[in-house]
Amino acid sequence: MKPIALRSLLLPILCMGSVAAVLAPGQSMPAPAQRPNIVFIFSDDHAAQAIGAYGSAWAPTPRLDRLAAEGMRFNHCLCTNSICGPSRAVVLTGKYSHLNGLTDNKCRFDGSQETFPKLLQKAGYETAIVGKWHLGSDPTGFDYWEILPGQGEYYNPEFKTASGAVKRPGYVTDIITDRAIDWLRNRRDRHRPFVLMCQHKAPHRPWQPAPRHLHLFDNVTVPEPPTLFDDYAGRCSGARNQEMTIARHMLPAFDLKVTPEPGDDSEDARMWKRQYNRLDSAQRKAWDEAYGPRTEDFRKANRSGADLTRWKYQQYIKDYLRVIAAVDENVGRILDFLEEAGLAANTVVVYSSDQGFYLGEHGWFDKRWMYEESLSMPLLVRWPGTVKPGSVDDHLVSNLDFAETFLDIAGVPAPAAMQGRSLVPLLKGTAPPDWRKTFYYHYYEYPQPHHVPPHYGVRTERYKLIYYPLTDEWELFDLARDPRERHSVHADPAYADTVRRLKAELTRLREQYGDRTTK
């Protein structure tokens, strides 16, 4: 008979003491066995319009659709700052970018500040993160971590761990899920509730599919968005001067997988070669079989103008959807493991993405803008016994709310410094009468990449007011009459009262959230 470790005897007592330390006076402590586990699956740049549950007819997402059918779909989850690192910092801290210190991807996250994983640790939860981190500093507040350095790679990626770097062969979305399931199966302490953050690189640029999906959507034409050929009339000058169009800014080799000509030493060709040289022999064979015909077609067709833009769109959107297919399959693997391990009934599963993304709308790829496609994040939540299957919520919610929601699920009070609100009442089908009616947004990164000007604004159910400090320009969109946001009505006298009201609300929100930045 094996001796019982002293740690095993003391752990339940220590955990209970830790929970008591963070509870408010008079608040009852949940029994450890009753506290739900949390699995947070977070992708990168997954647009809501590329999920079947959000209405896409083309997205290969049956497992995500299953998650929505078994839980709640939030129709208006909005990002505070539509860019990778800042969104992740907001999720961890429950604070806007100007307070958590990560306003753009050039910043480094201060890991000494309070985060929801640290608070859950103190409350007896075991915490783990696997996959994309993208915050510069190493993770803090996690009992176990294994992260991609920077953006990470799609094929044969390296990972950083507390004990050093390790290279893992295969496809990154599969590997991240492998490591997450390995932690759930073999590494976690079964006497403690857990929170696992499983964070995918996909479907981030350059949209490199798994070998098994390289021919998905062959001989299929994906419908074009109505604004693929947007002329940007009636918008701010920045909409015309950005550098994120499919027509002019998508790179033939790196983005579209067109093999460079021999001797091509452009930056595009060099980036392609770095990626291609990562492939093992089997991966390279699959790549050549899939993208060789595309390269030949690109060189022989002699396309130009709108015809070339349409061709680029088809290559882009198919690769994007192929990458999504692997994300969806691996969400299914997590759901299946929870069932097999007997964990599903007491585990809250959350799926989201760090922001939205342009899938050809306005002729764009990437994100950043306060326009709907990048502002909106998917959010699906399954909580057996609490969330009504197939339910839908239309309130204005945000990644600002995630930290407080996770704490509330665990029965842990949120610090007063956090700026969001717990979604638990909405998940239970009870809408607080004072739920937010307006939402504040602020984007900072400029000029590169993509030359999107800094801006901030306010969104209501119907309207969106945006201000661009560098050019002193305003935009107002009536989302009921102009859902694709093609024509600003800021200068229309019929909207003068709306403009005055929303400018006052924007000032109030900036004061409420303590945002005194001028750009």
Q: Which two tokens stand for residue 195?
A: 């929170």
Residue 220 banded pLDDT, cuts 50, 70, 90: very high
Name the residue among 358, 341, 408, 338 with its Cα closest to residue 244. Answer: 358
pLDDT higher at 511 or 32? 511
Asked if residue 16 has pLDDT above 50, the reply is: no
Domains in the chain with CATH codes: 6-23+37-207+317-418 (3.40.720.10), 441-512 (3.30.1120.10)
pLDDT at position 518 is 84
Is the predicted pLDDT of residue 360 greater than 50, yes or no? yes
The answer on pLDDT for 10 being more than 90 is no
Query: If we measure between CA atoms, which residue out of 174, 181, 237, 179 comes closest to residue 201?
Result: 174
Q: Which of 160, 93, 90 is nearest to 132 (CA)?
A: 160
Q: How confident is the model at residue 33 (pLDDT cuts 50, 70, 90)?
A: low
Written as one letter, the residue type at 123 is A
Mean pLDDT of the residues in the chain:
94
d(CA 333, CA 339): 10
Tokens, residue 321: 């959807």
pLDDT 10s digits, 106-156 = 999 999 999 999 999 999 999 999 999 999 999 999 999 999 999 999 999
Q: How is residue 93 written in tokens?
A: 């801290």
How confident is the model over 263-293, as pLDDT tens digits?
A: 999 999 999 999 999 999 999 999 999 999 9
Strand order of the sheet with strand 463-468?
439-443, 455-459, 463-468, 473-478
In order of 2, 6, 7, 17, the CA distances from 11 in angstroms are 18, 8, 6, 10
Collapsed DSSP state (helix, strand, coil) of residue 194:
strand
Q: Which pLDDT score is estimated for 519? A: 81
User: SS3 of 158, please?
Assistant: strand
Predicted confidence at residue 81, as pLDDT, reads: 98
Q: Is the pLDDT of residue 431 over 80?
A: yes
Q: Is the pLDDT of residue 31 over 80?
A: no
pLDDT at 493 over 50: yes
Mean pLDDT in residue range 364-382: 98
- With 60 as the cut, is the pLDDT of residue 30 above it? no
For residues 181 and 39, the answer to whether their CB atoms sit within 8 Å is no
Task: Give the pLDDT of residue 27.
Answer: 44
Rounded mean pLDDT, 229-242: 96
CB 397 within 8 A of CB 76: yes
Query: Is residue 89 pLDDT above 80, yes or no?
Result: yes
Which whole number is the average pLDDT over 230-256? 97
pLDDT at 23 over 60: no
454-492: b (≥16 Cβ within 10 Å) or e: bbbbbbbeebbbbbbeeeebbbbbbeeeeebbbebbbee
27 or 387, which is more confident: 387
Give CA–CA dist 247/224, Å, rounded: 13
User: How far apart are the C-alpha atoms of 355 and 400, rounded to whole Å?
Assistant: 12
Q: CB within 8 A of 351, min separation 6: which ones? A: 41, 42, 43, 64, 67, 331, 378, 379, 380, 381
pLDDT band for position 2 (50/70/90)?
A: very low
Q: Assess contact for 466 and 455: CB atoms under 8 A.
A: yes
Residue with tokens 């050809």: 360
Task: Please determine, for residue 5, whether its predicted confidence score (pLDDT) is greater than 50.
Answer: no
